[in-house]
């Protein structure tokens, strides 16, 4: 069979995986066609592709799952290959068949292999025949209640009932004793019917402390097959992965090799080609059992790329083009250790409830050979209700597990998202957790350690209030120095920036519906802040998204994002969204609007007018220097100067009257 190569590739997916596939394909000189729904009109994958076609409304069933529409666009655009990514149509045998019927190369395994792995029980039968180890269980067609109960009692308890059509952690029930079996069976069947339209189940022994270890396999159409080592995905919530790593900590090279060979055997048993993942339960005693095979690229494939130095999408395309695997088993080796953390819009403090909304700001850690970010989202994008709320994957690599973990903590601290709730702080806590550091892993890790990971107290500490207040004060000084023209800056109006007898300014901050009042006094050395009855001398420097802070001599750097009146502060993977009340910088004293007073303590460095001068509103009158910045003080109306009360070189207190006008008493 002569095989043509893919010269134009349609990516039947969205988000980070579409972007990731496009990057590799373009690097290989392949033109890329994106498809998009209403919600994705301005998405990154659309911008990145060479061309993009609209396929329908936002719900996946009206767009990314529309097999016929997608094939039609492949034809119209001249794409001769389709990469399905993961999810959506990636494990849909009918779609793969249609691609082949239309002479479009499906970047994935043969139709028969997808079908074989589509049912958990059929997959188990095939694996059993191929000599692949299975957890003790029953996966036959006879589904009568009495037989299932009998088989269950034979296996013993605890056991697991699984919907054979299940996926994504749905349709599973753990049963603790024989008397609970029938109830659990019925409940599992009900969920299976409503979720998958099929109530067939299998039952198997429930391992109480297993790890989820999976093997990346690759096969070509010439009969070559290799494994690219393992990934440990034991840290799960609701049977869904949170952090993955490669290699699996503590796995001996013998077990790795045995598992790898079994995975290759599993792939060969179904005539596999392309990228696949064979998932195993790895038990405490070192034994391992086939769980299922995913016939696509996995979300967590980048950790394998980091430890092998390979590009798995490039391998997929190479194999789809009918070429041999680029490397054979003895040319492959593990280098160092990698982690992937899935950054989700979700609330770890509220049962990981997905969050939706606009990402007003996203700041990424510096990426390099050690730190990689795969994302399809930038500042300003929206996480919608229609798709998976994953914002990005953060992947780190280093020479060993501990160094990689340190990289992960550092990169998470530098990963800043404003506008919605994320799991970033939770992931940072996980990466800092003793049991996780010791690699004391099993699939119940989060059940056991979840409590230790609940995120830190979200209320505002005095220090955070002080940092936010410092920001407000510096921002105002900056607005004044940058351009004297901002009509709303209190530095540029004498009316709004008047000082009362106490020379203090009120700053009102709102966080989680709680109002905080902070009082700020100018001092030669900075701002004296009164926060909850405590005095803090605050100094700092504001540069772009970074605030250098000095609170009573304790220096630190805080990153921040501003949108409108909202300030988000980021520190050590924690973040606080704070609303600054509009009137925060307006003096407490609104009377005595007339005379021109010093907005802060400083030195007079220039006097631009003399008694008797007629001045116009906005005309510069006096230049002061305070905190190493010059501040030009302007007339707030048309008037005449009566008296200049200070001379060049004079030190002036905050609130001191500088100039008296003729029309004022
Ligand atoms: P799904 O297809 O829904 O993801 P899997 O069969 O892959 O379901 O199982 C998902 C997770 O459930 C596994 O990663 C593991 O944590 C747990 N699990 C599955 N089978 C067993 C078992 N026999 N004993 C203990 N845990 C299991």
Residues 6 or more apart whose CB falls under 8 angstroms from that of 517 comprise 506, 507, 508
Residue at 126 is within a domain: no
Residues 6 or more apart whose CB falls under 8 angstroms from that of 10 comprise 32, 33, 34, 35, 70, 73, 74, 77, 79, 81, 82, 83, 104
pLDDT confidence bin for 64, thresholds 50/70/90 = very high
176, 285, 291: residue to mutate for ligand 1 pocket, most atoms within 8 A of CB = 291
Within this chain, do residues 429 and 467 fall inside the same structural domain, yes or no?
Answer: no
Residue at 113 is within a domain: no
What is the model's pLDDT at position 478? 66
**Is any atom of ligand 1 closer than 6 Å to the C-beta of 138?**
no
Q: Which domain holds residue 548?
A: 462-585
Within this chain, do residues 90 and 220 fall inside the same structural domain, yes or no?
Answer: no
Within this chain, do residues 386 and 488 fall inside the same structural domain, yes or no?
Answer: no
pLDDT confidence bin for 634, thresholds 50/70/90 = confident
Per-residue tokens: 606: 């220039």
pLDDT greater at residue 30 or residue 601: 30
* Nearest alpha carbon, ligand 1 atom 1: 167
Among residues 399, 422, 453, the one where a domain terminates is: 453
Among residues 585, 613, 635, the one where a domain terminates is: 585
CATH for 58: 3.40.50.20
Residue at 122 is within a domain: no
Within this chain, do residues 422 and 306 fall inside the same structural domain, yes or no?
Answer: yes
Within this chain, do residues 251 and 378 fall inside the same structural domain, yes or no?
Answer: yes
The alpha carbon of 451 and the centre of ligand 1 are apart by a number of angstroms equal to: 23
Q: What percent of the chain clears pLDDT 70, i.e. is strictly above it?
A: 92
Residue at 541 is within a domain: yes
pLDDT in tens, 228-247: 999 999 999 888 899 999 99
**Cross-sheet strand order for the sheet of 602-607:** 629-634, 620-626, 602-607, 651-652
Average pLDDT over residues 55-68: 96
Is the pLDDT at 488 greater than 60? The verdict is no
Average pLDDT over residues 361-389: 95
CATH for 145: 3.30.1490.20
- On whether the CB atoms of residues 206 and 158 are closer than 8 A, the answer is yes
**Is any atom of ligand 1 closer than 6 Å to the C-beta of 212?**
yes
Residue at 232 is within a domain: yes
The HSE-up count of residue 506 (CA atoms within 13 Å, CB side) is 14
Average pLDDT over residues 499-524: 79
What is the model's pLDDT at position 403? 98
CATH for 622: 2.40.50.100
Residue at 115 is within a domain: no
Q: Which residue has the tokens 């039968």?
A: 125
Within this chain, do residues 298 and 423 fall inside the same structural domain, yes or no?
Answer: yes
Total domains in the fold of the chain: 5
pLDDT in tens, 198-215: 999 999 999 999 999 999
What is the model's pLDDT at position 442? 96
Residues 6 or more apart whose CB falls under 8 angstroms from that of 122 comprise 116, 164
Residue at 131 is within a domain: no
Per-residue tokens: 593: 């609007």
Within this chain, do residues 361 and 510 fall inside the same structural domain, yes or no?
Answer: no
Q: Which contacts (CB < 8 Å, 24+ apart) does range 532-539 have? A: 532/462, 532/465, 534/462, 536/462, 536/463, 536/466, 538/466, 538/467, 538/469, 538/470, 538/473, 539/470
Output the average pLDDT for the chain: 90
Q: Which residue has the tokens 């499906």?
A: 106
Within this chain, do residues 74 and 145 fall inside the same structural domain, yes or no?
Answer: no
Q: Could you give phi then psi for residue 487, rounded to 5 degrees?
A: -70, -15
Cis peptide preceding 247, ω within 30 of 0: yes
**Is any atom of ligand 1 closer than 6 Å to the C-beta of 206?**
yes
CATH for 520: 3.30.700.30
For the chain, how many residues are written? Answer: 665
What is the model's pLDDT at position 92? 96
Residue at 132 is within a domain: no
Is the pLDDT at 483 greater than 90? The verdict is no
The alpha carbon of 210 and the centre of ligand 1 are apart by a number of angstroms equal to: 10
pLDDT in tens, 434-448: 999 999 999 999 999
pLDDT in tens, 144-162: 999 999 999 999 999 999 9
Within this chain, do residues 394 and 253 fall inside the same structural domain, yes or no?
Answer: yes
Within this chain, do residues 615 and 638 fall inside the same structural domain, yes or no?
Answer: yes
Is the pLDDT at 614 greater than 80? The verdict is yes
**Is any atom of ligand 1 closer than 6 Å to the C-beta of 374?**
no
Which residues make beta-bridge pairs with 531? 518, 534
Is the pLDDT at 463 greater than 80? The verdict is yes
Within this chain, do residues 605 and 545 fall inside the same structural domain, yes or no?
Answer: no
DSSP letter at 97? H
CATH for 355: 3.30.470.20
In terms of DSSP bridges, do strands 105-106 and 81-83 run parallel, antiparallel, or are they unpaired? parallel
Within this chain, do residues 444 and 483 fall inside the same structural domain, yes or no?
Answer: no
What is the model's pLDDT at position 584? 58
Average pLDDT over residues 158-179: 91
Active site residues: 296
Among residues 585, 618, 649, the one where a domain terminates is: 585
Work out the burial of residue 323: count CB atoms within 10 Å of its CB; fewer than 13 is exposed, 13-18 middle, 19 or more buried. Answer: middle
**Is any atom of ligand 1 closer than 6 Å to the C-beta of 291?**
yes
134, 136, 198, 210: residue to mutate for ligand 1 pocket, most atoms within 8 A of CB = 210
């Amino acid at each position: 069979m002569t095989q043509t190569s893919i010269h134009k590739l349609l990516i039947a997916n969205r988000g980070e995986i579409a972007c990731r596939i496009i990057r590799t394909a373009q690097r290989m000189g392949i033109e890329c066609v994106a498809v998009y729904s209403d919600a994705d009109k301005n998405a990154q994958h659309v911008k990145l592709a060479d061309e993009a076609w609209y396929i329908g409304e936002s719900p996946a069933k009206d767009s990314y799952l529309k097999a016929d529409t997608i094939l039609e666009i492949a034809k119209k655009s001249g794409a001769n290959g389709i990469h399905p990514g993961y999810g959506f149509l990636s494990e849909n045998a009918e779609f793969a068949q249609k691609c082949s019927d239309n002479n479009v190369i499906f970047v994935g395994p043969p139709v028969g292999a997808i079908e074989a792995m589509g049912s958990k029980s059929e997959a188990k039968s095939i694996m059993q025949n191929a000599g692949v180890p299975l957890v003790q269980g029953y996966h036959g067609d006879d589904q009568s209640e009495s037989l299932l109960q009998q088989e269950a009692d034979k296996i013993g308890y605890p056991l697991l009932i699984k919907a054979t059509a299940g996926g994504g952690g749905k349709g599973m029930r753990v049963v603790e004793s024989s008397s609970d079996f029938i109830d659990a069976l019925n409940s599992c069947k009900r969920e299976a019917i409503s979720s998958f339209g099929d109530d067939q189940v299998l039952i198997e022994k429930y391992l109480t402390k297993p790890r989820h270890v999976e093997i990346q396999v690759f096969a070509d159409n010439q009969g070559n097959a290799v494994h690219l080592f393992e990934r440990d995905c034991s840290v799960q919530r609701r049977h869904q992965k949170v952090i993955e790593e490669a290699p699996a900590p503590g796995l001996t090279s013998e077990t790795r090799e045995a598992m790898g060979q079994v995975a290759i055997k599993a792939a060969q048993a179904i005539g596999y080609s392309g990228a696949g993942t064979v998932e195993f339960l790895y038990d405490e005693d070192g034994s391992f059992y086939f769980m299922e095979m995913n016939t696509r690229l996995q979300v967590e494939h980048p950790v394998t790329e980091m430890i092998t130095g390979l590009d798995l999408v490039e391998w997929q395309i190479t194999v789809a083009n009918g070429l041999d695997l680029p490397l054979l088993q003895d040319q492959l080796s593990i280098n160092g250790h990698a982690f992937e953390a899935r950054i989700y819009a979700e609330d770890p403090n509220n049962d990981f409830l997905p969050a939706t909304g606009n990402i007003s700001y996203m700041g990424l850690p510096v990426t390099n050979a050690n730190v990689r970010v795969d994302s399809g989202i930038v500042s300003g994008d929206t996480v919608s209700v229609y798709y998976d709320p994953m914002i990005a994957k953060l992947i780190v690599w280093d020479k060993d597990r501990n160094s990689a973990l340190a990289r992960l903590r550092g990169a998470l601290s530098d990963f800043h998202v404003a506008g919605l709730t994320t799991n970033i702080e939770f992931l940072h806590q996980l990466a800092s957790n003793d049991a996780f550091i010791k690699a004391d892993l099993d699939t119940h890790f989060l059940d056991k350690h979840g409590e230790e990971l609940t995120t830190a107290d979200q209320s505002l500490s005095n220090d955070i209030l002080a940092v936010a207040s410092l920001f407000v004060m510096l921002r105002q000084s900056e607005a004044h120095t940058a351009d004297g023209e901002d009509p709303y800056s209190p530095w540029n109006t004498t009316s709004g920036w008047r000082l009362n007898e106490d020379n203090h300014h009120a700053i009102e901050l709102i966080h989680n519906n709680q109002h905080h009042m902070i009082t700020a006094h100018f001092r030669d050395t900075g701002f004296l802040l009164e926060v909850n009855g405590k005095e803090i001398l605050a100094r700092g420097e504001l540069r772009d998204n970074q605030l250098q802070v000095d609170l009573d001599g304790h220096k630190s750097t805080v990153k921040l994002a501003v949108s409108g009146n909202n300030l988000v502060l980021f520190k050590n993977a924690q973040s606080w969204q704070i609303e600054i009340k509009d009137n925060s910088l307006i003096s407490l004293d609104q009377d005595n609007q007339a005379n021109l007073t010093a907005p802060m303590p400083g030195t007079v460095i220039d006097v631009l007018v003399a008694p008797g001068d007629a001045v116009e509103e906005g005309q510069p009158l006096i230049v002061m220097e305070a905190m190493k910045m010059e501040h030009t003080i302007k007339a707030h109306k048309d008037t005449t100067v009566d008296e200049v009360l200070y001379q060049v070189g004079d030190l002036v207190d905050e609130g001191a009257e500088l100039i008296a006008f003729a029309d004022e008493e």
